[in-house]
Structure 1
Amino acid sequence: MKIRALLTAAALTATLPALAQDAAGTPPPAEKKTPPKGQTAKALLKDAQGKDVGEVTFEQTKNGVLIKGKLSNLPPGQHAFHVHEVGKCEAPGFTTAGGHFNPTKKAHGLLAPKGKHHGDLPNLYVSQDGTVQFDIFSQNGLTVKSMFDKDGSSVMVHAKEDDYHSDPTGDAGGRIACGVVEKS
């Protein structure tokens, strides 16, 4: 009995694909398409003297925003890195960029119990030669679309590292490089 069941199962398995098609034939399976790229944006950063510092790109994905950057001419060490609420970067202090991008009015900090701002991002580590290259994935509510509200957004590098909990700025110090987020 077991042998008959096994032989029947084997025969059905071998003929199932042929049985699944009707006499007219079914179209071949659709080719797998690469999913369309998400919405993208970029920011060209400059320091307080107007020198180019580099570029940061943003790509919307199904699960968050992929943020990539390659920066240079920065002081070595840890530096806070945030998205700010206004798309203006007037040197030397870049105060026109406003505070951190925070549409939900949360407390500051990736480690804060009542945080985090949508613009809170991990610190950047700048090497001794003044360069940093990074890939960050933000899943804290930030979207590419949200950065294009009525006054736009900017991206900022600060003089000191973010402590990830002090409100409202993480004790990040002055603003040393800024770039307006633009559609790409």
Structure 2
Amino acid sequence: MTSHLFCSDTMQIPAALQKGFPVIRPVPISELSATVKSIVWLHLNSRQTIAQQLAPVKQHAPQSLIVVMSDIPNDLEALAAFSMLAKAYCNTHAGLEVLLNIASVVEQGGIWIGESIMQKLLGGSSVEEPQLDRALGKWSKLLTGRELEVAKAIAIGLSNKEIALKMHITERTVKAHVGAVLDKLQLKNRLQLALLVKEG
């Protein structure tokens, strides 16, 4: 049976999580075990990046299945979490049914993506299959060097501001590059682009 651990430096275990998994216990990241396979419910804090928070969990407990919990969920944060190999991303105050569903999917080796993110990934996309095949097969050749750099930065969850700082360009230029990339690859949004980049 998979054990459930809760890592947070700011709060008690959420009531719904405690109800769904009565034996869940709070554990400092430094005390996670490398030998025990468990679901680690990681409550994000706003003082560090997702990478800074997930890296030590992966270091101390490489076999753990990480569920990222955010007080104010957003698509870019979700993207960053999945790029760091989190198995799920959800609202800290998600209901019992959602939490049980997440645990079930993750325990079976799946990745749980929330409905709102899934809607943005799939909803309203009018990409035709031949166009998508072309993009999947040769997408990187369709982009300029700068556009490819922006696409890769999006895939690791960087915001426009962070990309601008990294590439020493303005946010306006980043937006122009993002628009051009989405247009050339005939994709609807950053999440689709990130998945495309990650699939190679």
What is the TM-score with the length of structure 2 in the denominator?
0.22
- Choose between structure 1 and 2 for higher RCO, CA contacts under 8 A separated by at least 6 residues: 1
* Bigger helix share: 2
* Bigger strand share: 1
Between structure 1 and structure 2, the one with the greater Rg is 1
